[in-house]
Chain A
Amino acid sequence: MTTLTFPIPRPTHPTGIWNWLTTIDHKKIGVLYGVTAFILFLSGGVEALLMRIQLSGPGREIISAEIFNQLFTMHGTTMIFLAIMPLSAAFFNYVIPLQIGARDVAFPRLNAFSYWTFLAGAIILKISWFTGGATNAGWFGYAPLTSVQQNPGTGIDSWIISLQVLGIASLAASFNFLVTIINMRAPGMSFMRLPLFTWMTFITNILIVLAFPVITVALIELYFDRSFAMNFFNVAKGGDPVLWQHLFWVFGHPEVYILILPAMGIVSEIISTFSKKPLFGYPAMVLAGAIIAFMGWMVWSHHMFTVGLGPIPITVFTITTMAIAVPTGIKVFNWMGTMWNGSIDFKTPMLFALGFVAMFTIGGISGVMHSMASSDAQQQDTYFIVAHIHYVLFGGAIFAILAGIYYWFPKITGRMYNEALGKITFWLTFIAFNITFFPQHFLGMDGMPRRIYTYDPSMGWNLWNGVSTLGSIMLAIAMLMVVHNLARSWRKGEPASGDPWDGRTLEWSIASPPPEYNFVEIPTVYDRDDWWARKRREVRRAVPVGGGSGDDEAHDIHLPQPSYWPFVVACGLLIGGFGLVYPVGVYAISIIGTLIGMIGVYAWSLEPVNEPEDGESSAH
C-alpha cells in the first residue's frame, strides 16, 4: 500500500461542519447520537401529544382515523428505534471508552458509519410523513395488514426499509462495542471490575447482535411479499400471518431488554455515586442482567397469549415470563441495598434514578399481571398494556436516560446544568408522568382497547382520558424545560470540574470535557470503582484533573484521523433505501445508491491509515 497514493487525503478539519461530518472521535459521535435522538424523541412526543388531544374527549374530530393510525405507528417506531435505542447508543459512545480507560472505540470509522446510517434510517422513516403518508399498521406491523393488498401505499415500505437501515446501524455499532469492551480495556480492568453500565452495555449489544438478524429476515420476507408477489404471509396462497408474529416477537422481546438494560446500567452508576457506596451485590447485578437477557429469548409468545396457541404453550410462556420477575427483582432490591446506610445526595440525576426505581417497580408489577395469561386475556391490547409499557419505557428507560443526561452533562460539556431547574423539572416530569399514564390502567380494565382513534361517550372512559391528556400536556412542558436547561447550560453554565460528583469510575478521573485522546496515560486499574479507590487510598498519585491542557504529556499520542467515507457509505444507504421505498424505473435510484455505497466502502478500505504530518489538533 505504501507505493500507492490514494487520490483523496484524509480530512483535517478541526472545527465546523466538515469536522462533524468526518469525525471519528467517539465523544463527538456520542454527542451527535444524543442530540439527534433527543430531537427525534421530541418528534415522537409531538406525535403522542396529537393522539392525546384527539382522545381528550369522546367523539373528537381533530385528527382523522387514518392520520391517527399513522401517528401511533410512528410514535411507537420512533420512540423505540429512533429515541431510546440511539439515546442509549449516545451513552455507549461517549461513556464506554472513558469507563474502560480507552482512547476510542475499536473501530472508530465504523462508529461514524453507525451514526450516519442511523440518521439515514431516521430520515427514511420520518420523511414518509410528507411523501404520501407514513406507515399505519402499528410498530409491530402484523401481517396481513401490511400486505400490499391491504396497504398499497409507500408507508409500509418506508417502515421496512427504515428498520433495515437502522438495523445495519445497530449491528455495526454493536460489534464495535463488543470488540471495544473485550479488547480495549485498560490494564487491570478485568471483567468483574467493569462498571455496571459497561456490563449492561456489553449484554445489550450481545442481544442486538442476536436479535436484529431475526427482524431483518422478517422484514426481507415482508418486502418480498409486497414487492415481488411472494407469499410468506399471504393467507390466500397458504402463507401464515402468525409466522410474522413469531418472527417479530422473537426479535421484539429481546428488543424490550435492549431498551431497558442500558437504563439499568445508568441507574446503577448513579445510585452508587450519589449514595457514596459501591454497588450492592455487584456479581448478582451482573448475573441478573445476563439472566434477564438470556431469558428474554424464552418469553416472546407472551405477546401472543390471545393468538390461540393452545393451553400448553400458553402455560409454558406464562411460567418463563413470570420467572423473569426474579432477576428483575434482584436488581431493584440491590439498588435499595446500595442506598442502605448510604449518604444520599439528591441531585437531579439521583432524583431521576430514584424515579426510575419507583416507576419501574410499578411497570414490573403490571408486567407480572400480564404474564398471567388468564388475566392477560382481558388486558391484552387494552390501555392497561399502554400504561404498562409507558411505566417500563418512560418511567423506566426515559427516566434513566434523563438521569444519565444530567449525570454526564458536566463531563460532556464541561459545564454544570442548572440544579434548581433540574429538580423542578424532575418533579414536574414525575407528577405529569403519573397523571398521564396511571389512569390508563383504569381505562384498560374498563375495556378501552388500544389504537382506537375515537370512543363513544357512553363507555365511561371520558374522565380518565381527559386526565391523561392533561398529564401529557404537562409532560410536554417538562420535556421543554429539560431542553431549555441543557441548551442554556451548554452555553452559559458554570464550568464543571473533572469530577463534580465525587465519582467512582474512570471517566471522572479526567478533565471535563475530556481531551480528544481521553487519557494522557492509559490508567492501570487495581479495583472495581478504581477512581474512588485511588482518591481515597492515594496508593498512587492520581492523574491530575485538567490533563487536557497537558499538551506536552500528550505529545506522543496517535489517534486515528477523520474520514469522509463512513458518511459517504451512509449516504449510499440513504439513497439506496429511498430507491427501494419509491421504486422509480427499475430500482434506478437504488442502483445509484449502491454504487455510491460501494465507492465509499472501497475508498474506506484504501484510504491511508495515517499521514505522518498534517499539523492538526492532537494527532502529532
Chain B
Amino acid sequence: MLTSTMSLKRLIGIALLGTMIALLLGCTPSHPQSTFDTRGLVAANQANIFYIIFWAGLVVFIAVEGALLYMVFKFRRKEDQGDPVQTHGNTRMEIIWTIAPVIVLIVAAVPTIQGVFYAANSQNSPNYPADGNALEVDVIGHQWWFEFRYPNPNNPAEQIVVANEMYIPVGEPVNFRLDSVDVIHSFWVPKLAGKVDMIPNNDNTMWFEAYAPGEFFGQCAEFCGVSHANMRFKVIAVPRPEFDSWLQHQAGEALEPSEALAVEGKNLFRSAGCSGCHADSSIIKIRADGSRIPGRTGPNITHIATRLNHLGIYRNADAPFEDSSGVRQLYVDAAGVPIHANGQPFVSAALLQQNLKTWITDPEALKPGNLMTRDGAPYIDPENALSERDIDALVAYLLTLK
C-alpha cells in the first residue's frame, strides 16, 4: 500500500530530514529517541505521514501569518483617518476558505488512514513469514520496568523471561502482546514505531520491524507514577542467526558460582529475601489454556550479567552498538553472548559491578519509589540491612550470571 507514493514521500522526507535533524541536533550529536531518524518500517511510515502534514501546515502557516503581517502594516490607522467602509462579509470568499481546508484535509486523511491500518497488522510487512509464524513477544509493564517473554524455541509450553532489554531479529516483523500488572504504561521505541499503551487486562497488540541492526531506546510514554521518568528499556536488533543464539542462551540455566564470595552472595540472595521477587531461572510455564502465569514482582536476573544496560538505562559497556562512522561493534557470538567486534566480551565487568553496587546500595537514588526499597526486607528492616560485605557478595554473585 505504501509503494505508490513512497518514492516522492521519501524524497521530501529526506530533504526535510536534513533540515530537521540540523535543527534538532542543537549541540549534541546523539538523538537516540528521534522520531525522524527512523530504523523501523512503522516509524518510517508514521514519519512520512508527519512530513505530509508538516509541509501542508507550513504552507498554511506562511499564508496565514504572512497575510496577518501584511494587514498589520497595510491597514495601520492613519492620522485623521475616517471610518473605514463597514463591510459585513463576502459570501464568495467565505465559501472559498471553507472549501479549501476541506480539500487539504481530505488529502491528508488518505495516507493517515492507510497508515493506521498499516500499523495495525504485521502482515503488512513485506517480510511477513510465509508460514505465518512471526515472532511474538509478550511485553508486561511493571512500575517501573519492562518484562519481556519470548516463546521458548525448545518447548512450546514455556516462555523465556528477560527484563529491560530485548533482542529482536532484523528484517522481520515482530508482534507484541502488551499487558501491565499495575497501572497503564505505554510501549514506545521512537525509532521503530509509535507507541501503544499497555493496559491491564486489555490485550493490546502492536508490531514493528527494524530494517537495520542497532540498539534502540525505548521509554514508557504514559505517566505511571513516581518513577515514570526512569521506566526505560532497550531494543537490540541483530541478524536472525545471532538472535537465535541469544535466545538459546537466555533459555539456559544460570551459571553456578564457584568463587567463595559469589557463593556467599548466592546464599545471601536467598536468605536476605531477594529471591522472593527476583527469579534466577528464565523459564516460565504457560498455562494449559494458553494464558500467562504472573511472574515474580521484580525483574528476572538469570542472565543479568549479559545485559548491556543496567535498569535499561545505565551502560554496562564501554563501546556503543556501532561506532561514529556506523561500523557495527556489537555481535552475538555462537554461545549467545554479546561480544565486541574485536572479540572481547562486550559487557564490561567493571562497569557492571559499579552499576550493580550503586543500585543495591541505594535504589531510591536511581529509581525513586521503587518497590524494592518500599517492600524489600533488607531495605525496610534495619535488622536485615545489607552490610558493605553483603553488597559485595551479592554483586559478585550477580556478576557470574552470564
Contacts and interface: CB of A to CB of B under 8 A. Distances in A.
Interface of A: 64-66, 69, 137-138, 142, 144-145, 150, 235, 240-242, 275-278, 280-284, 306-308, 310-311, 314-315, 318-319, 322-323, 325-326, 329-330, 332-334, 336-337, 339-346, 354, 357-358, 361-362, 365-366, 368-369, 372-382, 442, 445-456, 458-460, 462-464, 536
Nearest to A458: B30
A241 B369 CA distance: 23
Interface string B211-249: 000000101111111111110000000000000000000
Interface in B13-44: 20, 23-36, 43
A372 B53 contact: yes
B89 A447 contact: no
B367 to A, nearest CB: 9
Given A66-B369, A325-B105, A442 B68 contact: no
B287 interface: no
A459 B33 contact: yes
Given A377-B194, A378-B43, A447-B32, A358 B68 contact: yes
Contacts of A64: 368
B68 A306 contact: no
Given A64-B368, A142-B184, A451-B228, A462 B75 contact: no
Contact of A447 (B29, B102, B119, B219): B219
A455 B225 contact: no
B87 A280 contact: yes
Contacts of B72: 344, 346, 354
B184 A241 contact: yes
18 contacts: A65-B226, A242-B202, A278-B86, A282-B89, A306-B221, A322-B109, A340-B75, A341-B84, A361-B64, A372-B109, A375-B50, A378-B43, A442-B24, A445-B36, A448-B33, A449-B220, A460-B24, A460-B25
A278 B116 CA distance: 44
Interface string B190-201: 100111110111
Interface in B320-363: none
A66 B88 CA distance: 55
A318 B105 CA distance: 10
Given A144-B182, A345-B77, A374-B116, A326 B53 contact: no
A235 B86 contact: no
A150 B182 contact: yes
Given A460-B30, A463-B26, A306 B195 contact: yes
A343 B75 contact: yes
Nearest to A457: B28
B144 to A, nearest CB: 10
Contacts of B389: none
Chain B interface mostly: mixed
B337 to A, nearest CB: 25
Contacts of B120: 310-311
Interface stretch (B54-62, B164-172, B267-275): B54-62
Which of A276, A377, A449, A536 gathers the greatest number of chain B CB atoms within 10 Å?
A377
Given A337-B93, A377-B195, A332 B223 contact: no
Nearest 4 pairs of A and B residues by beta carbon = A447-B33, A377-B194, A374-B115, A463-B26
A79 to B, nearest CB: 17
A445 B49 CA distance: 13
Contacts of A280: 87-90
Contacts of A275: 75, 84
Contact of A365 (B20, B57, B87): B57
A431 to B, nearest CB: 15
B83 interface: yes
Contacts of A334: 94
A469 to B, nearest CB: 14
B112 interface: yes
A150 B181 CA distance: 12
B200 A145 contact: no
B65 interface: yes
A378 B46 contact: yes
Nearest to B106: A322
Nearest to A536: B83
A358 B65 contact: yes
Interface in B280-306: none
Contact of B116 (A150, A281, A315, A354): A315
B113 interface: yes
B94 A330 contact: yes
B99 to A, nearest CB: 9
Given A318-B116, A357-B68, A369-B50, A463 B94 contact: no
Nearest to B113: A315
B64 A332 contact: yes
Given A276-B83, A307-B197, A323-B105, A382 B221 contact: yes
A368 B188 CA distance: 22
B390 to A, nearest CB: 27
B185 to A, nearest CB: 10
Nearest to B82: A343
B46 A375 contact: yes
B182 A446 contact: no
Contacts of B369: 65-66
Nearest to B111: A374
A332 B94 CA distance: 11
Nearest to B91: A281
Contacts of A278: 86-88
Contact of A381 (B23, B205, B221): B221
Nearest to B191: A447
Contact of A329 (B76, B97, B200, B368): B97
Contacts of A341: 75, 84-85, 87
Given A307-B199, A308-B204, A326-B101, A460 B31 contact: yes
A456 B313 contact: yes
A354 to B, nearest CB: 7
Nearest to A68: B229
B101 to A, nearest CB: 5
Contacts of A463: 26-28
Given A319-B109, A358-B68, 6 more contacts: A330-B97, A373-B116, A374-B115, A375-B115, A377-B195, A455-B229
Given A142-B223, A145-B224, A361-B64, A377 B84 contact: no
Given A64-B368, A378-B43, A333 B97 contact: yes
B154 interface: no
B174 interface: no
Contacts of B200: 144, 235, 241
Nearest to A467: B26
A448 B195 CA distance: 13
Contacts of B105: 322-323, 325-326, 368
